[in-house]
Amino acid sequence: IASNIAGIKKVFWDGVSLYRDACASKEDMQQYGRGAPEDWIERHLYTPHANLGPVVLFALDFALFGLPGIALWAIQMAWIPFWAAGVVNGLGHWWGYRNFESADTSTNLTPWAFWIGGEELHNNHHAFPSSARFSMRRWEFDIGWQAIRLLQALGLAKVLRVAPTMDIRPNIAVPDTDTLKALLSHRFQAMTDYQRNVFAPALREEAAIAGAKLRKMLPRRMRKGLVNDGRWLKPACREPLQQWVSQRPRIQLLVEHRARLSALLEARTHDAAERLRHLQQWCHEAEASGVAALQAYAARLKGYSLSAA
């Protein structure tokens, strides 16, 4: 996200300073630090002695390797901030491809993740943050997952969780609890399916009706804005997009249905029955919309279920 606000050049070369600024902000720490450890070692060692880590590393490198250890320490101190802050959280939110329409700008830098322990598959990681395996497609490779499997085979590691897989059940008349469980686990996949199977065909049809090429009728940046409600667009682009949508009732209908589905999935509620009722209502209205792509999407969504382990 910072790459879209501070600029990729700043994040890429000086991303560490942004982390320091965020650490000094109580608001940022409360918003993004939820779930972080707050135990004895955090309070009495890591927080009050934050600079001790590099010093201990320097001493160990020098003790183990002598003078070459100093060069090794310098490389380590430059390597980690650059690749973690600059590449993963900089380029990994600015350039690449996306398997999942997550609520941020995360991307996969390359399908073959062997240089940064698998973090090149950053969009996959954001979609399933608790998964030990970052590769989600058959053509993707995660070297970190291979290391985990090796350690597991040696009895030195235990895999607690990987991203669940999903099945599509045919001929499901009404969304049920299995649908809801799968949808909540794969909410980003659901939004990706909406983009590819509902928005994309509708935009092509709009272009065909207008007798224009899609990229000229609606530039790529604006099309991406449709997918994420324009949250990452500058105001100068967001307003024309909203006007463009308002002039096309069918596109506006699809935008509204997407926003409602997204709100349903992101709602912070523990009432599963209420959420299921809202999902059933959403599917009913989608199937009554008269838009073939939206009707087909709703029919498919009703069949979502998690695969048996």
Tens digit of each residue's pLDDT (9 = 90 or more) over 96-135: 999 998 888 899 999 999 999 899 999 999 999 999 999 9
The answer to whether position 3 is within a domain reads yes
Banded pLDDT at 1 (limits 50, 70, 90): very low
Domain edge (last residue) among 49, 68, 95: 95
Residue 6, pLDDT score? 65
pLDDT single digits (tens) 164-211: 888 999 989 999 999 999 999 999 999 999 999 999 899 888 888 888
What percentage of the chain carries pLDDT values higher than 70? 97
Q: How many structural domains is the chain composed of?
A: 3
Question: Residue 5: pLDDT above 80?
Answer: no
What percentage of the chain carries pLDDT values higher than 90? 52
Q: Mark whether 128 and 180 lie in a shared domain.
A: no
Q: Mark whether 181 and 300 lie in a shared domain.
A: yes
The answer to whether position 197 is within a domain reads yes
Q: Mark whether 215 and 112 lie in a shared domain.
A: no
Q: Which residue has the tokens 């399933």?
A: 128
- Mean pLDDT within 28-55: 82
Residue 2, pLDDT score? 52
Q: How far apart are CA 11 and CA 1, in angstroms?
A: 10
Q: Mark whether 145 and 255 lie in a shared domain.
A: no
The answer to whether position 275 is within a domain reads yes
Q: Is beta strand 112-113 parallel, antiparallel or unpaired with respect to 141-142?
A: parallel
Residue 260, pLDDT score? 93
Mean pLDDT of the chain: 88
* C-alpha to C-alpha distances, 182 to 17, 164, 189, 309, nearest whole angstrom: 39, 9, 10, 13
Higher pLDDT, 232 or 278: 278
Are the CB atoms for 105 and 120 separated by under 8 Å? no
Joined together, the tokens standing for residue 280 give: 């059933």
Q: Identify the domain containing residue 232 by its residue range.
A: 168-306
The answer to whether position 241 is within a domain reads yes
Banded pLDDT at 212 (limits 50, 70, 90): confident
pLDDT single digits (tens) 44-63: 888 888 888 899 999 999 99
Q: Mark whether 265 and 139 lie in a shared domain.
A: no
The answer to whether position 199 is within a domain reads yes
Q: Mark whether 48 and 114 lie in a shared domain.
A: no
CB contact set of 192 (below 8 Å; sequence gap of 6+) = 98, 99, 100, 101
Residue 28, pLDDT score? 79
The answer to whether position 101 is within a domain reads no
- Mean pLDDT within 266-272: 82
Higher pLDDT, 194 or 32: 194
DSSP states of 207-261: HHHHTS-HHHHS-HHHHHHHHTTTTTS-HHHHHHHHHHHHT-HHHHHHHHHHHHH
Domain edge (last residue) among 131, 163, 195: 163
Q: How far apart are CA 103 and CA 123, in angstroms?
A: 10
Q: Mark whether 204 and 291 lie in a shared domain.
A: yes
DSSP states of 29-88: HHHH-TT---SHHIIIIITTTTTHHHHHHHHHHHHHHSHHHHHHHHHHHHHHHIIIIIII
Domain edge (last residue) among 163, 183, 204: 163
Closest Cα partner for 124 from 114, 115, 109, 134? 134
Q: Mark whether 194 and 242 lie in a shared domain.
A: yes
pLDDT single digits (tens) 81-95: 888 888 998 899 989
Are the CB atoms for 212 and 205 separated by under 8 Å? no
Q: Mark whether 264 and 292 lie in a shared domain.
A: yes
Q: How far apart are CA 27 and CA 212, in angstroms?
A: 47
Q: Mark whether 23 and 56 lie in a shared domain.
A: yes
The answer to whether position 48 is within a domain reads yes
Residue type, 288: A
Residue 305, pLDDT score? 94
The answer to whether position 184 is within a domain reads yes
Q: Mark whether 188 and 210 lie in a shared domain.
A: yes
Residue 120, pLDDT score? 95
Banded pLDDT at 4 (limits 50, 70, 90): low
Higher pLDDT, 99 or 14: 99
